Structure 1
């Protein structure tokens, strides 16, 4: 078998596993959107669908990780190819955790629906946070698909806005609970949902950082946003 043929097969392997990651990403993105929709519409059936799909996300993580290990053992990649496979392993872990957060949101949505007949709390901040988190996740996956370090670096800029929405909602919940103790239980469920959304934003940021690692070969975790953007722009 010629070296060119081997190289072609390896490229196919990398393309296939990258596609698997994007399919998994699309699933968890849809899971988050559905979980929020269940909360907005008080639709238990939608929440149940999200809960039922969690095992599918878990299987995808296991299958992609096994595929990743197989390619490393079979092809013995180096340099950027090895970084890609290492980053994929970490990316799918973050995607699985996003799936976990969607599962938690759906479970809490069911609890809220079971406690009250309609939304007794204004959760506009949660809607805004969810839209931001989903946008961050979508852009992180798009940056991964195109191996675009510059786009990946921009994703972290939205994190402060996500954090601010969370803090604003916590302050609102405190007022609800102080004014009406009967709302304490449902308020705590909303708090867990808001925290889950914040974590989704964190996982999206992690995925973006792995893309920069693939392209630039630099670990950009735990550095400032400014330093991260500078690293992504380096030639």
Structure 2
């Protein structure tokens, strides 16, 4: 096996480890949110340093491969994709940390009624699923699975668009929930950004495997 192939395989393994770490962060933040577990939320915040460290390591390794091997064709596309995916994953890690900080700072658990009417729980579940699907698509080199992420993102967008009006109506009858409504709106917006990052990752997977640039184009091209 050529040395560049070995280096690229090692880089792919690093990227998958980063994915697994970020997925764990997002899932643990979800569990902390559901159970109002401040200790688990604190664990997510503390582990953010590992996410940042992994991002820097992958960036350095990509730069070294560029410098040593001057890759072309699919190898070049793979490196470019990993660089962008790495950045997207780090941003999702930041979002997970932000959600965990909300749990740490909140005084009481969110009301069951607000959880239901905002659809935040199925939204969070779909956001985690999107991240899992992109990792599977990357590992298996499956562009069909990557494209399925775009449809899932539409659900997150719909929930985000409807939240303002839903909470406005809720607060007419429950003005005391104003503070919680602000927290809820902030978390929903963060989850919508997770969807955007996962969608960007899916686009990079398709670029790497098919040499198609989907940015600013129809997502099912």
TM-score normalised per structure 1:
0.88
Distance 2:7 2:110 in 1: 48
- CA shift for structure 1 position 47: 0.6
Report what 2:181 is aligned to.
187
Secondary structure of the residue that 2:220 maps to in structure 1? Answer: helix
1:34 to 28, 33, 37: 28
* Residue 122 of structure 1: aligned partner: 114
> Unpaired segments of 5 or more residues in structure 1?
228-235
Once residues 87 and 12 of structure 1 are traced to their aligned partners in structure 2, the CA distance between those partners, rounded to angstroms, is 18
Q: Which residue of 2 aligns with 1:215?
A: 209
Deviation readout 1:91-132 (Å, 9 max, x if unpaired)? 0000000001101111112222x2x2x432431411101111
Instruction: Measure, in 2, the Cα distance between the counterparts of 1:95 and 1:44.
Output: 24
Task: Find the residue that maps to 1:225 and give its secondary structure.
Answer: coil
Counterpart among 18, 30, 33 of residue 24 in structure 1: 18
Count the aligned residue pairs. 218
**Counterparts of 1:11 and 1:28, CA distance in 2:** 26
Task: Give, in whole Å, the separation in 2 of the partners of 1:225 and 1:83.
Answer: 19
SS in 2 for 1:226: coil
CA drift at 1:214: 0.5
8 Å CA contact 2:126, 2:152 repeated in 1 = yes
- Pairs within 5 Å for 1:1-235: 7=2, 9-112=3-106, 114=107, 116=108, 118-120=109-111, 121-124=113-116, 125-227=119-221
Q: 2:110, 2:180 within 8 Å by CA — same for their partners in 1?
A: no
Take 2:169 and 2:35, find their aligned partners in 1: how far apart are those partners?
A: 24
Q: Distance in 2 between matches of 1:88 and 1:69?
A: 11
Using the TM superposition, give the Cα deviation of residue 178 of structure 1 relative to its aligned residue in structure 2, in angstroms. 2.7
Task: Say which one has the larger Rg.
Answer: 1
1:122 partner SS: helix
**Conserved in 1, the CA contact under 8 Å of 2:23 and 2:132?**
yes
Report how far residue 151 of structure 1 moved: 1.8
1:157 offset after TM fit, Å? 1.1
1:19 CA drift (Å) = 0.7
Q: Distance in 1 between matches of 2:208 and 2:195?
A: 20
Aligned-pair CA distance for 1:160: 1.2
Q: How far did residue 217 of structure 1 move?
A: 1.2
Q: Which aligned segments of 4 or more residues in structure 1 are displaced greater than 2 angstroms?
A: 118-122, 165-172, 175-182
The separation in 1 between residues aligned to 2:143 and 2:110, in whole angstroms, is 41
Q: Give 1:10 deviation, angstroms.
A: 1.4
